Amino acid sequence: LIGERGERELAASLQAGLPTVHDILDALASPGRDPRADLPAPLTRQAIVKLSDLKPGTILRGTVRNITDFGAFVDIGLHDDGLIHISELSKRRVKHPLDVVSIGQVLRVMVISVDEKRGRIGLSLKQVPQEASV
């Protein structure tokens, strides 16, 4: 956009780091872009194609797509993302979900509830057996 030399001068005048200025200029060049689009595609399972195929106790792999104060939304390959409530992230107390998971992280999760009427999937990270594999 303005060149490497211009970025260095701008960083110096703003008293900011060069990577920060570069990231800001990239964001200004493409407004409205969702950084989550750069994440890997969701992991899909052939046997599970709709909500009614899910049963509590099923262990799946999924990608963390969004993190809120109350939990993390995980893409498990269905239209609806599942929610890992903050209480299901760890056996220890969690102050904020970012302390345990990050966007783009691939996890093994256990289905703990399915509400077909409301399109909600409850997931757990703490209930997944350590030796379980998907």
- The SS3 of residue 42 is coil
Are 93 and 67 found together in one domain? yes
Give residue for tokens 């194609």: 49
**Which backbone phi and psi does 19 adopt, to 5 degrees?**
-60, -35
Q: Flag whether pLDDT at 34 surpasses 50.
A: yes
The answer to whether position 133 is within a domain reads no
Ranking 44-48, 50-54, 69-73 by mean pLDDT, the lowest is 44-48
Are 114 and 68 found together in one domain? yes
DSSP 52: G
Interval 41-53 mean pLDDT: 60
Question: Distance of alpha carbon 95 from its chain centroid, rounded?
Answer: 18
Q: How does strand 82-85 pair with strand 120-124?
A: parallel
Provide the H-helix boundaries in the chain: 3-14, 18-29
Burial 71-88 (b: 16+ CB within 10 A, else e): bbbbbbbbebbbbbebeb
In this prediction, what percent of the chain has a pLDDT beyond 90? 41
Where would I find the beta strands (DSSP E) of the chain? 59-68, 71-75, 82-85, 106-115, 120-124
Are 89 and 118 found together in one domain? yes
Q: What is the CATH number of the domain that holds 56?
A: 2.40.50.140
Are 112 and 57 found together in one domain? yes
Interval 33-45 mean pLDDT: 61
pLDDT at site 116: 86
pLDDT at site 49: 62
pTM score, two decimals?
0.63
Q: What's the pLDDT tens digit per position in 63-113?
A: 999 999 999 999 988 888 899 999 999 999 999 999 999 999 999 999 999
